Amino acid sequence: MYCICCKKDKVTPFDPLMNSGVEEDLLWRNEERNGHKLTVDNQMVNSGIIQIIHAGFGSVHDTDSFIIAICDDCIIENLEDATLLLFKSGDYNNPEEKVNESRRNFRRRKNLDDLID
């Protein structure tokens, strides 16, 4: 799937149990297996993140849902400049430190933008 930032086809959904392995089928997957709902949100992905995002009320797209992807390289780059914000860290040693760093980067960028505007 194409990364929403660099526009390159770098992110791939993966399911070792699915024989066909057709990317399109994995992206729009919406099935029940062993009492669990399977979508792109809860399957393996190579080289980045693929998620379904839902537009909230107030957007011209409210109630729509979109499949987006972002590659690992763009995640790193966009975390550094606070274009992408970390909500929860998978770092088991000190998860709050990375979230707090993301918050600091966000504040720094907002404050710089306010000075420039």
For the stretch 38-70, pLDDT in tens is: 999 998 999 999 999 999 899 999 999 999 999
Q: What is the pTM of this model?
A: 0.84
For 2, phi and psi rounded to 5 degrees? Answer: -80, 135
Mean pLDDT along residues 21-50:
91
Residue 11: per-residue pLDDT? 97
Mean pLDDT along residues 29-39:
91
Residue 92: per-residue pLDDT? 85
Phi-psi region for residue 82, left (φ > 0), alpha (ψ -120 to 50) or beta? left
Residue 20: per-residue pLDDT? 58
Residue 94: per-residue pLDDT? 85
Residue-wise DSSP of 69-96: EEEHHHHHHHHHTTSS--SS---SS-HH
- Domain edges within the chain: 1-75, 81-117
Residue 41: per-residue pLDDT? 93
Residue 21's pLDDT band (boundaries 50, 70, 90)?
low
